[in-house]
Structure 1
Amino acid sequence: MFDGYCRQIMQPKRVAYNKSDLECGFPRQDFQLQGLQCSLYKCNKYTQSCILYLHGYNGSRLEAVQYASFVCKNDFDFCSFDFQAAGQSQGDFVTFGLKEEENVALVIKYLKEKYFHIILWGRSMGATTALMYTQNNANIRCLVLDSPFLVLEDVVINLIKLKLHTPDIINKGLYELIRRCIAKLFQFHINKIQLPQHLNITCPMILLASKQDHLIPQYHFDSIFKGYLGHKRMVVLQSNHNEQRSTEIIKTIIGFCQSMTPQSRFSPTKYHDRLLGDLDEQKYIATGIKIKQKIMRNQSASTHNKNSAQIQKDKALMQLSILK
């Protein structure tokens, strides 16, 4: 019994989809990174900013399609991918952020060759993974955290509660049995998935949290918000954990990202030409200033010589007058 349930936790059913399901009306480039299946949506303008979406537990990059057109319409490029053991990516089991953090590092390395600003937008397990990554890396412009969890143990206990409808004292005992079973089957310790109370992160963050979340207790959101060092904002939702986010919430998220990333309105070619033009203009200005300064020095020296000659002439005339 426990073996089967533990396998369900560690190997959730993959979301099945076709490549056509990923369409959003904007150009899409699919690519693969060491077994990870990824998609990059391009907006219609040149931008130095890309939002990387991290899906939740039992999710896939299909989860991001509902946001892709909103993001691209607001001049951001948008990237999503299937975590290991999810969607169409390779992998045997999920690790609730531990190995997923390495997945994020791999994709960000790829994106950093194309973009100056990288924004992480994560939901549930994806939000926790975003915190894990940013805790160890300072190359993120800002964070969008939708329902992250602080301690995995609480989430698993709530999963048991929702499935079996048993009291807490029994749920905690069942959790201990499941923890041992998962460690035996997968050599993975779920009790080690826990964020620190004080997060060493300084980039701006917006946190989406709901008091009606039946999966993640409210204190998780409060602790993450309190322990966050950087500029932060909390948006209180009126929905359950897995409910779809409203258009207003999406607009709030995009507005936050826009305020944190000044967008470039010119093409790379024009930027390059303009930069060279500016440099040439500065060169000509500098040359002109040097010539003008030289002329002024010569004029000053000439004036000084003329003044000195006049003073000497006046002194000589005075001496002649004394002799007379």
Structure 2
Amino acid sequence: MFDGYCRQIMQPKRVAYNKSDLECGYPRQDFQLQGLQCSLYKCNKYTQSCVLYLHGYNGSRLEAVQYASFVCKSDFDFCSFDFQAAGQSEGDFVTFGLKEEENVALVIRHLKEKYFHIILWGRSMGATTALMYTQKNQNIKCLVLDSPFLVLEDVVINLIKLKLHTPDIINKGLYELIRRSIAKLFQFQISKVQLPLHLNITCPMILLASKQDHLIPQYHFDSIYKGYVGNKRIVALQNNHNEQRSTDIIKTIIGFCQSMTPQSRFSPTKYPDRLLGDLDEQKYIATGIKIKQKIMRNQSASTHTKNSAQIQKDKALMQLSILK
């Protein structure tokens, strides 16, 4: 029975959904990356920026659909995927961010072929995974962190407390039994899932945190915010960990992304095959046009000079013939 409970922790029930459930009113491209099931939503304008959403524990890309239309309406493309062992992706068990970080790296490599700016928006386990990834890879434009945890041990102990309503001394004893059982069954150490107190991340960040969060203690949010090196902002939520985020909060998140990310727009009729816009690329294109124009002017001037020389030569020959 105890092993069964540990398996429930490591192998939460997958969210069942159909592809039609992923629709949000904007064009969607589904694709697969090494067993990960992914979706890319395209806004109505060409953009150099894409928001990559990372779902929480026991979640899936279905969780992201509620945000997709808001993001696309704001001229960002939006991508989501099922972490390993979640939704429709392959995988045997979750690792609360350790292996999920590799999932993120795989998807970002794919997106970087099309987009100049990548924004990571993670919730709970997804937010912690975003920090794990960005701690090692400084290629993210900005971070949206909704209720990340600092140390997995605290979350598991709180989960026991919520389910059994037992005192802390018993909860800690049960946690130790769970830790040992999970290590034996899955060769996975819960104690390895923790963020450093000093987060060497320089990209801007917005942190969403709630004092009413019964799953993640407040000190997790305080420590993450204090240890974050880059520009940061905190937004206080007024609801519990798994409750739906309000429209105002979603607008706050999108406003933050817009302020951090320059948007370039192109007419679909003028650029039918263009997947994205890049301000720097526009600059290079403009510079290239100027260089080409200069070359054409030089060629024209050179041609004109050559023509003038030929005319003068012809005149000189004509004069010589007259002298003869």
TM-score (norm 2): 0.84
Could you list the per-position Cα deviations for residues 77-98 of structure 1 after superposition, in whole angstroms to 9, with x for gaps in the alignment? 0000000000000000000000
Quickly say closer, same or farther: Cα 1:315–1:238, change in 2 above 3 A: closer
Q: Distance in 1 between matches of 2:280 and 2:93?
A: 57
Q: Distance in 2 between matches of 1:107 and 1:179?
A: 30
Q: Return the offset for 1:46.
A: 0.5
Runs (5+) with no aligned partner, structure 1: none
Would you say how many aligned residue pairs link Structure 1 and Structure 2?
Answer: 324
Quickly say closer, same or farther: Cα 1:72–1:286, change in 2 above 3 A: closer
Could you tell which deviates more after superposition, 301-310 or 226-235? 301-310
Identity %: 93
Q: Return the offset for 1:292.
A: 20
Runs (5+) with no aligned partner, structure 2: none
Q: Return the offset for 1:266.
A: 2.2
Q: Return the offset for 1:2.
A: 1.5
Q: Distance in 2 between matches of 1:313 and 1:72?
A: 67
Q: Return the offset for 1:124.
A: 0.1
Could you list the per-position Cα deviations for residues 83-142 of structure 1 after superposition, in whole angstroms to 9, with x for gaps in the alignment? 000000000000000000000000000000000000000000000000000000010000
Q: Distance in 2 between matches of 1:302 and 1:107?
A: 52
Quickly say closer, same or farther: Cα 1:221–1:319, change in 2 above 3 A: same
Q: Is this contact kept in 1: 2:47–2:263, CA < 8 A?
A: yes
Could you tell which deviates more after superposition, 303-312 or 84-93? 303-312
Quickly say closer, same or farther: Cα 1:309–1:219, change in 2 above 3 A: closer
Could you list the per-position Cα deviations for residues 219-251 of structure 1 after superposition, in whole angstroms to 9, with x for gaps in the alignment? 000000000000000000000000000000000
Q: Distance in 2 between matches of 1:191 and 1:30?
A: 35
**Aligned-residue RMSD, C-alpha:** 7.7
Q: Spell out the pairing of 1:141-152 with structure 2 (5 A cutoff).
A: 141-152=141-152
Could you list the per-position Cα deviations for residues 257-309 of structure 1 after superposition, in whole angstroms to 9, with x for gaps in the alignment? 00000100225996899999999999999999999999999999999999999
TM-score (norm 1): 0.84
Could you list the per-position Cα deviations for residues 190-216 of structure 1 after superposition, in whole angstroms to 9, with x for gaps in the alignment? 011010000010000000000000000
Quickly say closer, same or farther: Cα 1:52–1:278, change in 2 above 3 A: closer
What residue is the counterpart of 1:247 in the other structure? 247
Q: Distance in 2 between matches of 1:65 and 1:277?
A: 24
1:188 is paired with a residue whose SS is coil
Quickly say closer, same or farther: Cα 1:296–1:162, change in 2 above 3 A: closer
Could you tell which deviates more after superposition, 63-72 or 266-275? 266-275
Question: In terms of Rg, which structure is larger?
Answer: 1
Quickly say closer, same or farther: Cα 1:174–1:141, change in 2 above 3 A: same
Q: Distance in 2 between matches of 1:294 and 1:275?
A: 30
Could you tell which deviates more after superposition, 258-267 or 301-310? 301-310
Could you list the per-position Cα deviations for residues 12-47 of structure 1 after superposition, in whole angstroms to 9, with x for gaps in the alignment? 000000000000000000000000000000000000
